[in-house]
Structure 1
Amino acid sequence: MTVSLSTSESAPANAEADVLVIGVIQAPDGPSAAPGAEGVDDAIGGTLADAFTALGATGELEELSKIPGGGKLPAALILAVGLGAPPADGGPFDAEKLRR
Protein backbone atom coordinates (compact mmCIF):
# COMPACT_ATOMS: atom_id res chain seq x y z
CA MET A 1 0.00 0.00 0.00
CA THR A 2 1.31 3.43 -0.92
CA VAL A 3 0.36 6.44 1.15
CA SER A 4 1.02 9.93 -0.05
CA LEU A 5 0.46 13.28 1.57
CA SER A 6 0.26 16.54 -0.28
CA THR A 7 -0.96 20.06 0.22
CA SER A 8 -3.04 21.96 -2.25
CA GLU A 9 -4.68 25.30 -2.63
CA SER A 10 -7.37 23.81 -4.88
CA ALA A 11 -10.98 24.47 -4.00
CA PRO A 12 -12.19 21.60 -1.78
CA ALA A 13 -14.88 20.75 -4.33
CA ASN A 14 -12.10 20.11 -6.87
CA ALA A 15 -9.50 18.48 -4.62
CA GLU A 16 -8.61 14.98 -5.71
CA ALA A 17 -8.09 13.37 -2.32
CA ASP A 18 -9.41 10.56 -0.18
CA VAL A 19 -9.32 12.73 2.95
CA LEU A 20 -9.39 16.51 3.44
CA VAL A 21 -7.66 17.71 6.61
CA ILE A 22 -8.83 20.94 8.23
CA GLY A 23 -7.99 22.68 11.49
CA VAL A 24 -10.42 23.30 14.35
CA ILE A 25 -9.80 26.02 16.91
CA GLN A 26 -11.13 26.56 20.40
CA ALA A 27 -13.20 29.73 19.99
CA PRO A 28 -15.03 31.51 22.83
CA ASP A 29 -18.41 30.31 21.51
CA GLY A 30 -17.29 26.74 20.83
CA PRO A 31 -15.18 24.91 18.27
CA SER A 32 -14.74 26.68 14.95
CA ALA A 33 -13.10 25.82 11.65
CA ALA A 34 -9.65 27.36 11.44
CA PRO A 35 -8.95 29.96 8.77
CA GLY A 36 -8.66 28.31 5.38
CA ALA A 37 -11.50 25.81 5.90
CA GLU A 38 -14.23 28.09 4.58
CA GLY A 39 -14.35 26.29 1.23
CA VAL A 40 -14.92 22.95 2.93
CA ASP A 41 -17.76 24.38 5.02
CA ASP A 42 -19.32 25.95 1.92
CA ALA A 43 -19.02 22.70 -0.04
CA ILE A 44 -20.92 20.72 2.58
CA GLY A 45 -23.65 23.31 2.98
CA GLY A 46 -22.34 25.25 5.98
CA THR A 47 -22.73 22.33 8.38
CA LEU A 48 -19.22 22.09 9.90
CA ALA A 49 -20.25 23.81 13.15
CA ASP A 50 -23.19 21.41 13.52
CA ALA A 51 -20.88 18.45 12.85
CA PHE A 52 -18.42 19.65 15.50
CA THR A 53 -21.26 19.90 18.02
CA ALA A 54 -22.73 16.50 17.11
CA LEU A 55 -19.33 14.84 17.47
CA GLY A 56 -18.53 16.57 20.76
CA ALA A 57 -15.49 18.23 19.23
CA THR A 58 -13.81 20.93 21.30
CA GLY A 59 -10.89 22.01 19.12
CA GLU A 60 -8.49 20.86 21.83
CA LEU A 61 -4.92 20.47 20.60
CA GLU A 62 -4.44 17.18 18.68
CA GLU A 63 -8.12 16.15 18.93
CA LEU A 64 -9.31 14.29 15.83
CA SER A 65 -12.85 14.28 14.48
CA LYS A 66 -13.95 12.40 11.37
CA ILE A 67 -16.74 13.96 9.33
CA PRO A 68 -18.25 12.18 6.32
CA GLY A 69 -18.01 14.14 3.07
CA GLY A 70 -21.58 13.12 2.32
CA GLY A 71 -20.97 12.90 -1.40
CA LYS A 72 -20.63 16.68 -1.61
CA LEU A 73 -16.85 16.52 -1.99
CA PRO A 74 -14.53 14.27 -3.98
CA ALA A 75 -13.02 13.26 -0.62
CA ALA A 76 -15.09 10.73 1.30
CA LEU A 77 -13.85 12.03 4.65
CA ILE A 78 -12.99 15.31 6.34
CA LEU A 79 -10.49 14.96 9.18
CA ALA A 80 -10.81 17.86 11.59
CA VAL A 81 -7.66 18.31 13.69
CA GLY A 82 -7.77 20.31 16.93
CA LEU A 83 -5.33 23.23 17.02
CA GLY A 84 -6.22 24.54 20.46
CA ALA A 85 -6.86 28.21 21.16
CA PRO A 86 -5.69 30.67 18.51
CA PRO A 87 -2.71 32.83 19.48
CA ALA A 88 -3.83 35.72 21.69
CA ASP A 89 -1.90 38.22 19.59
CA GLY A 90 -3.74 37.16 16.42
CA GLY A 91 -0.50 35.91 14.90
CA PRO A 92 0.19 32.56 13.28
CA PHE A 93 -0.15 29.25 15.09
CA ASP A 94 2.98 27.76 16.62
CA ALA A 95 4.74 25.66 13.96
CA GLU A 96 5.41 22.79 16.39
CA LYS A 97 1.71 22.56 17.32
CA LEU A 98 0.79 22.46 13.64
CA ARG A 99 3.36 19.79 12.94
CA ARG A 100 2.02 17.52 15.68
Structure 2
Amino acid sequence: MTYLLTGLINFVFSLAMMGLMLRFLFRLLGANPSADFTRFIYNSTSPLLTPFEGIFSPYVIENSYVFEFSTLIAVVFYALFSWLLVEFVTFIYNSVSVYTKKK
Protein backbone atom coordinates (compact mmCIF):
# COMPACT_ATOMS: atom_id res chain seq x y z
CA MET A 1 0.00 0.00 0.00
CA THR A 2 2.79 2.41 0.83
CA TYR A 3 4.37 1.88 -2.59
CA LEU A 4 1.15 2.84 -4.32
CA LEU A 5 0.70 5.99 -2.26
CA THR A 6 4.33 7.11 -2.47
CA GLY A 7 4.34 6.36 -6.19
CA LEU A 8 1.24 8.51 -6.64
CA ILE A 9 2.79 11.34 -4.62
CA ASN A 10 5.98 11.17 -6.68
CA PHE A 11 4.01 11.08 -9.94
CA VAL A 12 1.84 14.09 -9.11
CA PHE A 13 4.71 16.21 -7.86
CA SER A 14 6.91 15.18 -10.80
CA LEU A 15 4.22 16.36 -13.23
CA ALA A 16 3.95 19.65 -11.37
CA MET A 17 7.71 20.18 -11.36
CA MET A 18 8.01 19.28 -15.05
CA GLY A 19 5.31 21.83 -15.83
CA LEU A 20 7.12 24.46 -13.77
CA MET A 21 10.43 23.71 -15.49
CA LEU A 22 8.75 23.97 -18.91
CA ARG A 23 7.32 27.31 -17.84
CA PHE A 24 10.75 28.46 -16.70
CA LEU A 25 12.34 27.43 -20.00
CA PHE A 26 9.55 28.94 -22.10
CA ARG A 27 9.84 32.26 -20.27
CA LEU A 28 13.64 32.19 -20.41
CA LEU A 29 13.71 31.45 -24.14
CA GLY A 30 10.95 33.93 -24.99
CA ALA A 31 8.31 31.46 -26.18
CA ASN A 32 5.23 32.91 -27.85
CA PRO A 33 2.62 33.26 -25.05
CA SER A 34 -0.26 33.11 -27.54
CA ALA A 35 0.69 29.61 -28.75
CA ASP A 36 -1.77 27.02 -27.46
CA PHE A 37 0.74 24.75 -25.72
CA THR A 38 2.59 27.67 -24.15
CA ARG A 39 -0.67 29.16 -22.91
CA PHE A 40 -1.66 25.74 -21.49
CA ILE A 41 1.62 25.48 -19.57
CA TYR A 42 1.34 29.05 -18.25
CA ASN A 43 -2.31 28.60 -17.19
CA SER A 44 -1.80 25.21 -15.57
CA THR A 45 1.29 26.23 -13.59
CA SER A 46 0.03 29.64 -12.53
CA PRO A 47 -1.81 28.32 -9.41
CA LEU A 48 1.37 26.51 -8.35
CA LEU A 49 3.30 29.79 -8.42
CA THR A 50 0.79 31.89 -6.49
CA PRO A 51 2.45 31.35 -3.07
CA PHE A 52 5.84 32.33 -4.49
CA GLU A 53 4.90 35.43 -6.47
CA GLY A 54 6.52 38.60 -5.22
CA ILE A 55 9.47 36.95 -3.51
CA PHE A 56 11.74 38.10 -6.33
CA SER A 57 11.00 40.23 -9.34
CA PRO A 58 11.44 38.52 -12.69
CA TYR A 59 14.60 39.57 -14.48
CA VAL A 60 13.69 40.73 -18.00
CA ILE A 61 16.29 40.51 -20.75
CA GLU A 62 15.61 42.37 -24.02
CA ASN A 63 11.82 42.65 -23.49
CA SER A 64 10.98 39.01 -24.26
CA TYR A 65 13.35 36.79 -22.28
CA VAL A 66 12.38 36.46 -18.62
CA PHE A 67 14.32 34.78 -15.83
CA GLU A 68 11.76 33.86 -13.16
CA PHE A 69 13.43 33.25 -9.82
CA SER A 70 10.07 32.46 -8.23
CA THR A 71 9.60 29.49 -10.55
CA LEU A 72 12.94 28.02 -9.51
CA ILE A 73 12.09 28.55 -5.85
CA ALA A 74 8.75 26.80 -6.42
CA VAL A 75 10.47 23.80 -8.03
CA VAL A 76 12.86 23.47 -5.09
CA PHE A 77 10.01 23.86 -2.59
CA TYR A 78 7.79 21.26 -4.28
CA ALA A 79 10.72 18.84 -4.57
CA LEU A 80 11.46 19.16 -0.85
CA PHE A 81 7.79 18.98 0.07
CA SER A 82 7.22 15.83 -1.98
CA TRP A 83 10.29 14.20 -0.44
CA LEU A 84 9.08 15.07 3.07
CA LEU A 85 5.59 13.81 2.28
CA VAL A 86 6.93 10.49 0.97
CA GLU A 87 9.13 10.11 4.05
CA PHE A 88 6.18 10.90 6.34
CA VAL A 89 3.90 8.38 4.61
CA THR A 90 6.63 5.74 4.79
CA PHE A 91 7.24 6.49 8.46
CA ILE A 92 3.54 6.28 9.32
CA TYR A 93 3.12 3.05 7.36
CA ASN A 94 6.15 1.47 9.03
CA SER A 95 4.98 2.61 12.48
CA VAL A 96 1.51 1.18 11.95
CA SER A 97 2.85 -2.11 10.59
CA VAL A 98 5.24 -2.50 13.56
CA TYR A 99 2.40 -1.72 15.98
CA THR A 100 0.03 -4.24 14.39
CA LYS A 101 2.72 -6.95 14.34
CA LYS A 102 3.24 -6.56 18.11
CA LYS A 103 -0.40 -7.39 18.84
TM-score normalised per structure 1: 0.30
Larger Rg computed on CA atoms = 2
TM-score normalised per structure 2: 0.30
